[in-house]
């Protein structure tokens, strides 16, 4: 067994122990036994409301326990196979098992990070809004590049994605775009992406091939469900309808199906033009408004908790990451120090290292 194999085995076991402590493994395992006994009772479904509550709690516990149990079994099997391969001096098998340990170590690290996403809203879908900063076409092209980056990341994770609103740039790119990302813990993974993203490159729109710096802002909000109550007074809303500007054929161009909602007390604006139905677009825009109001509420609570503390301001509007394409390639997160020289891979959706380091710093 190589020193790296030993290190990977140690890291995997450490990750398992950390995850167990964080999710309170022994405590929820005992709770699972209790819930299963309740479910097996003959009269369990006599009280339907309670039965649904119990089964939902049971499913939630199983969802936390199974990945850890699976990880424990796989590392135990791999260690056993490594010991067997060493006894038989099977170099080919040892090489293959070494690769398997590398993969499992990465999975264990990701699972450890994911276990931190336990806030009530972390499991939710999310809306990710991107707005181009000052700079015209340069900034608008950068906003579209960011939209592609997050779209590629979502696709690689098997998440579903919709563009709920989009305002195209005059020459290229987008002035603004909102992505609806649907998947397990989508908000938890992306919540630390809110902030200003900076791009440095040789401009493809500059005939003199000069280097330009562009900015775009990202704002991530959780999609609220019926369990979260957000009160909205109809008198506080201004609702406008207009013709959709995106793809959609003749119907989109001829009818005012797109909906924009302005929440007057906060100035928050949401819009949707994804559907041919004005009613459906209004529903989507209202859902987005609720999500933004909920995010605002969470931010106010966090500020109240941190009042008087000397903490760096990581609120919306601050630069969080730089993407340098020329004269060298470097993507660096200003909050965590995480960096890579493979900028094309990052822009193609390989952002897990940045997401994980930001979450680990919570």
DSSP string, 90-116: -HHHHHHHHHHHHHHHHHHHHHHHHTT
Q: Which CATH number fits domain 3-114: 3.30.70.3400, 3.40.630.10, 3.20.20.140, 1.20.58.410?
A: 1.20.58.410
DSSP string, 65-79: HHHHHHHHHHHHHHH
pLDDT at 301 over 70: no
The pLDDT, as a whole number, for residue 228 is 65
The pLDDT, as a whole number, for residue 314 is 31
Residue tagged 């109809």 (tokens): 234
pTM over 0.85, yes/no: no
pLDDT, average across residues 210-220: 90
Q: How far are the Cα atoms of 86, 160, 180 from residue 183, in angstroms, in the given order? A: 42, 7, 10
pLDDT at 153 over 50: yes
Closest CA to 168 of 150, 143, 146: 143
Domain 121-362, architecture per CATH:
2-Layer Sandwich (3.30)
pLDDT digits (tens, 9 = 90+) for 39-87: 999 999 999 999 999 999 999 899 889 999 999 999 999 999 999 999 9
Q: What is the radius of gyration, based on Cα positions, of the chain?
A: 24
Q: Where do the domains of the chain lie?
A: 3-114, 121-362
Spatial separation of the C-alpha atoms in residues 268 and 262, rounded to whole Å: 6
């Amino acid at each position: 067994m190589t020193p790296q194999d030993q290190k990977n085995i140690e890291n995997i076991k450490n990750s398992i122990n950390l995850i167990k402590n964080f999710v309170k493994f022994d405590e929820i395992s005992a709770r699972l036994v209790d819930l299963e006994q309740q479910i097996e009772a003959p009269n369990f479904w006599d009280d339907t409301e309670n039965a649904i509550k119990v089964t939902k709690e049971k499913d939630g516990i199983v969802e936390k326990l199974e990945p850890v149990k699976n990880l424990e079994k796989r590392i135990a099997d791999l260690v056993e196979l490594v010991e067997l391969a060493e006894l038989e001096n099977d170099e080919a098998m040892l090489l293959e098992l070494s690769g398997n340990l590398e993969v499992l170590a990465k999975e264990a690290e990701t699972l450890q990070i994911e276990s931190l996403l336990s806030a009530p809203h972390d499991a939710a879908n999310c809306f990710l809004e991107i707005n181009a900063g000052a700079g015209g076409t340069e900034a608008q092209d950068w906003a579209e590049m960011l939209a592609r980056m997050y779209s590629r990341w979502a696709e690689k994770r098997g998440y579903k994605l919709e563009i709920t609103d989009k305002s195209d740039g005059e020459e290229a790119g987008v002035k603004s775009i909102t992505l609806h990302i649907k998947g397990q813990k989508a908000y938890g993974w992306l919540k630390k992406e809110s902030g200003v993203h900076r791009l440095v490159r040789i401009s493809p729109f500059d005939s003199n091939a000069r280097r330009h710096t562009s900015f775009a802002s990202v704002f991530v909000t959780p999609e609220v469900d019926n369990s979260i109550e957000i009160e909205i007074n109809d008198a506080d809303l201004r609702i406008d309808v207009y013709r959709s500007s995106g793809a959609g054929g003749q119907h989109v161009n001829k009818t005012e199906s797109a909906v924009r909602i302005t929440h007057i007390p906060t100035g928050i604006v949401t819009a949707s033009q994804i559907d041919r139905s004005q009613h459906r677009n209004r529903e989507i825009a209202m859902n987005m408004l609720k999500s933004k109001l909920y995010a605002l509420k969470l931010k106010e609570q966090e500020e109240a908790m941190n009042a008087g503390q000397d903490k760096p301001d990581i609120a919306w509007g601050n630069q969080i990451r730089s993407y340098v394409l020329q004269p060298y390639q470097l993507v660096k997160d200003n909050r965590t120090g995480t960096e890579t020289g493979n900028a094309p891979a990052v822009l193609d959706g390989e952002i897990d290292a940045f997401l994980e380091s930001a979450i680990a710093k919570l």
